C-alpha cells in the first residue's frame, strides 16, 4: 500500500511523508509460534514500513507529482 501523509505545521510549513506499507511482513517465521505471531499481525493490520520518504514544502511534493505524471505518459519503444 502506498501511503501519502500531509502535515500542516502550526507555523504554516507543510511536509509530506510517503511510505510503502504492508501488514504481512515476513521475518522468515517458520516455527509454530512465529506463524501465530505473523497471523496476528495480519489480523490486526499493524502497518510495517518498507520504505519511507519525507519531503519538506509543497514545491518538492508538486515536483514529484509532476515528474510522476511525465513518467506515466512516457511511452517505451523497443529498438528494432
Domain map of the chain by residue range?
A: 2-73
Give the predicted TM-score (pTM) of the model.
Answer: 0.49
27 alpha carbon, distance to own chain's centre = 19
Q: Is 78 helix (H, G, I), strand (E, B) or coil?
A: coil
Q: What is the model's pLDDT at position 78?
A: 58
pLDDT averaged over 10-residue windows placed end to end, the chain, 80 residues: 86 88 61 77 68 83 87 65
Q: What is the model's pLDDT at position 71?
A: 73
d(CA 3, CA 19): 5
Q: What is the model's pLDDT at position 10?
A: 94
Q: What is the model's pLDDT at position 26?
A: 54
Q: What is the model's pLDDT at position 73?
A: 78
Amino acid at each position: 500500500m502506498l501511503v501519502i501523509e500531509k502535515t500542516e505545521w502550526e507555523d504554516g510549513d507543510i511536509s509530506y511523508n510517503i511510505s510503502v506499507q504492508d501488514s504481512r511482513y515476513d521475518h522468515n517465521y517458520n516455527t509454530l509460534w512465529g506463524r501465530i505471531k505473523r497471523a496476528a499481525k495480519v489480523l490486526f493490520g499493524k502497518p510495517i514500513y518498507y520504505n519511507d520518504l519525507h519531503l519538506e514544502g509543497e514545491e518538492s511534493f508538486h515536483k514529484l507529482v509532476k515528474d510522476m505524471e511525465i513518467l506515466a505518459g512516457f511511452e517505451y519503444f523497443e529498438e528494432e
